[in-house]
Chains A and B, each alone.
Chain A
């Protein structure tokens, strides 16, 4: 049998190469795990990279406290099954310690607050490399992100001082205080991730599949009304719809889409035919045209 090099397999080979470089070049790497499909894909790739040995670094979840309960359940089960170490740090703690202030109003979200908790955790554990599931196709500012992206003492991203990356040579040398964000699935598109999940038969949280949910409409988007986390005006009427989530972040900034896709293959088909981008359902990017770039400069993932 030959190892083939189809489109999806060549992306897989590239990602495994990158993950192995992280393990080889850094002393204290960590895999940032959100419970979303991209980080689940990363875990799968890491398992493959080191088989038959275990993944030689822990996972870390920055918990906003506003995650979908299905995501947390899934996270704990996955970690147990694979026998991995999981570190959890809570945004709530950063709020309680007065390091960040909770947003208020209609569009209040804890998404931005994650940055402080993340940077504190990097400092606490002295992580020198954080593996994340960001992809270049998600957003314009991310299209210029490196695979090894060096951050300064403040966790900040300076897009003008990015290191050139030639061929597949990854330069992981850093100075004291710096750390690197690593994006092994940089070159994957949303469809690639879904195709891979289908090909590998990877289990994902149930909220990615069509289900009946109490929701309300705002700004042409569908918001979950089942949890108190999402602010809802009294005049915003609750209805029941068949929906699924296309991206799973903080509940307060993740909108649902109408869908009857109950299986992976139906989801893949839906994405293939979709005319709205993935981040179109993320309200945090709509704040301004340069929203993502600004958040990245501040140290956001």
Chain B
């Protein structure tokens, strides 16, 4: 089984860090020295319980403010699977961090405080999860211990959230509701004795039973050429290999292929992984491919199966999450990095801003500020080879790079 990456989203004080700490504790992933450090600090602060959030809130600024600022990665494994949790902050000013964390995740946890129910922030967390097309979402209704483990409260929150679900764009997203208490450990790793009315799985049990098909949307194979390998040694005198990672599906020896943008036809001769040859290589393999014909292929070109072309265009419209304090305005130019391919792009127009709480869109927008999400049309100086994000998560996304600061200033999902 591959590594499953789970994004977490919650509001301030929803107990997200406590939940993660609890998972680590109950799966015995906290080592003695880390546990001792938590015990020591909890005692120093005069708590009569173990503050598991200390296990994850890593930076000094966070410990001072008691909140999570950046995306932190936490690792643990069970006998069955390996997990990475991307712990992202929940406040509105950290929307970009949430988008970042969600972009590399296959599953997610949305935390709701049982005392507060579905709030404005919950809408946004769900919106981002849905925008990024995360296939498996768990809505963890936390702090059940503070509402007497009430089934009525759980049902009310579930009903409120279900109402929200009708507004989502990605309808096939699987959503599971689980009542938990991170502090007391109910339904996190172990099933709770206090909620006999809940017949479902604990949070970890849920992730443990997920299959590849539950978390991956497998698109058609795309092979962007990352690096051309030419050893020029006696043994490999004429070797010309195209190194890259396969996105979606699989490629096999003998496949008829097209090289973009030239649309030159060829066949796959060999697929190497290190010094071994393989008949077939599947998605996410970093392989080296050789072709039957001696044709000119360079970095940024894309190898695809003949008859299965992506869109080749100098213009596209995408949902953009803006991440920079300097505004995005029509006419501005950015480097568009689509996979490993970089082109220059100009903002043609901002079509509309999307309120990330499902409250609708705003037209006649002249600029985008940090954390804004909007539909934007770009024109490029060279065509790229893309798929719609809904059909291909990797070949349908891109980042925007500021031409002066070189910083990553936005992310986009092609429509």
Contacts and interface: CB of A to CB of B under 8 A. Distances in A.
Contacts of B288: 51
Interface of A: 1-3, 5-7, 10-14, 16-17, 20-21, 23-24, 47-54, 136-137, 140-141, 143-144, 159-160, 162-169, 171, 173-175, 186-187, 189, 191-192, 274-277, 280, 289-290, 293
A24 B282 CA distance: 23
A173 B335 contact: yes
A3 B281 contact: yes
A-B pairs with lowest CB-CB distance, top 9: A140-B58, A173-B406, A53-B231, A16-B286, A280-B33, A277-B31, A166-B103, A164-B100, A48-B274
A114 B244 CA distance: 35
A293 B275 contact: no
Interface of B: 1-3, 31-34, 37, 41, 56-61, 63, 69-75, 77, 81-82, 84, 96-97, 99-100, 103-104, 226-227, 229-233, 235-236, 239, 241, 243-245, 271-276, 278-288, 299, 323, 335, 337, 339-340, 393-394, 397-399, 401, 405-408, 411
B323 A2 contact: no
Given A160-B69, A165-B104, 16 more contacts: A3-B280, A7-B81, A10-B3, A12-B286, A17-B226, A20-B286, A49-B243, A51-B275, A53-B229, A140-B72, A141-B59, A163-B408, A164-B323, A166-B103, A166-B408, A276-B33
Contacts of A275: 31-32
19 contacts: A3-B281, A3-B287, A6-B1, A20-B243, A24-B226, A51-B272, A52-B241, A53-B233, A140-B72, A160-B69, A164-B96, A164-B408, A166-B103, A168-B245, A169-B339, A171-B399, A173-B406, A191-B77, A289-B63
B3 A162 contact: no
B272 A174 contact: no
Contacts of B60: 290, 293
Contact of A52 (B32, B33, B235): B235
Contacts of A23: 227
A167 B58 contact: no
B397 A52 contact: no
A5 B236 CA distance: 28
Contacts, number: 187
Contacts of B286: 12-14, 16-17, 20, 49
A167 B397 contact: yes
A192 B275 CA distance: 22
A163 B284 contact: no
Given A144-B71, A174-B406, A166 B100 contact: yes
B171 to A, nearest CB: 23
A276 B28 CA distance: 12
Nearest to B393: A167
A143 B20 CA distance: 14
Contacts of A17: 226, 245, 286
A140 B62 CA distance: 11
B137 to A, nearest CB: 19
Contacts of B71: 144
Contacts of B273: 3, 48
Q: Which of A140, A163, A186 has the most CB of B within 10 A?
A: A140
B278 A51 contact: no
A136 B84 CA distance: 10
Contacts of B274: 47-48, 51
B75 A144 contact: no
Contact of B58 (A1, A53, A274, A293): A293
A7 B82 contact: yes
B284 A24 contact: no
A143 B58 contact: yes
Q: Which of B3, B96, B236, B272 has the most CB of A within 10 A?
A: B3
Nearest to B231: A53
A166 B104 contact: yes
Q: Which of A167, A174, A276 has the most CB of B within 10 A?
A: A167
Contacts of A276: 31-33
Contacts of B63: 289-290
B338 to A, nearest CB: 8
A144 B58 contact: yes
A13 B75 contact: no
A281 to B, nearest CB: 9
A29 to B, nearest CB: 12
Given A159-B59, A171-B401, A164 B33 contact: no
B217 to A, nearest CB: 13
A3 B270 CA distance: 13
A188 to B, nearest CB: 9
Given A3-B281, A51-B274, A187 B84 contact: yes
Contact of A159 (B33, B70, B73, B299): B70
